[in-house]
Amino acid sequence: MAKLSKKKVREAIPGSMGIYAVIANKCGVNRGSITRFLQKEKNENLVEEIKEEREKLIDVGEKKLIELINAGNFNAIKLLLITKGKDRGWIEKQEIESKISVDMDVDKLRKAIKDGIPYQ
């Protein structure tokens, strides 16, 4: 198994889209080795570089989403609206309807509250 160094990992980051398995493959190690190496405090700057690289993947995804929206793709439009249009009411929500029947003597409840005793 290859030995990891900051230099080796740093050189493997470009083009990886921030995916640990890709970085590990470029370094000749397994994904777990990369993960353990990056967990060391002295490698925090590498973690930040990987996050920056991952942002490129999100940029690509957003660009493709915009292309689909411009082409009139309904699912792409819906995704945009439910994720970015919340302030305009575009949200997916679950409606739950429930019917509960409760027999209660309101006067008895008020007295129990006033007296500080459990309602029975």
Is the model's pLDDT at 95 over the cut of 70? no
Give residue 106's pLDDT. 84
Is 35:20 a contact under the CB 8 Å cutoff? yes
Give residue 93's pLDDT. 73
Is 38:4 a contact under the CB 8 Å cutoff? no
Is the model's pLDDT at 72 over the cut of 90? yes
pTM of whole model > 0.75? no
Is the model's pLDDT at 74 over the cut of 80? yes
Average pLDDT score over residue span 37-43: 90
The more confidently predicted of residues 94 and 50 is 50
Q: What is the pLDDT of residues 76-89, one digit of tens each?
A: 999 999 888 888 88
Give residue limits of the domains in the chain: 6-115
Is the model's pLDDT at 101 over the cut of 80? no
Task: Report DSSP letters for 3-55, one per residue.
Answer: PP-HHHHHHHSTTSTT-HHHHHHHHTS-HHHHHHHHHSGGGHHHHHHHHHHHH
Compute CA distances 29 → 42, 106, 114, whole Å: 19, 71, 71
Give residue 1's pLDDT. 61
Give residue 94's pLDDT. 65
Give the confidence band of 62 by pLDDT, cuts at 50, 70, 90: very high
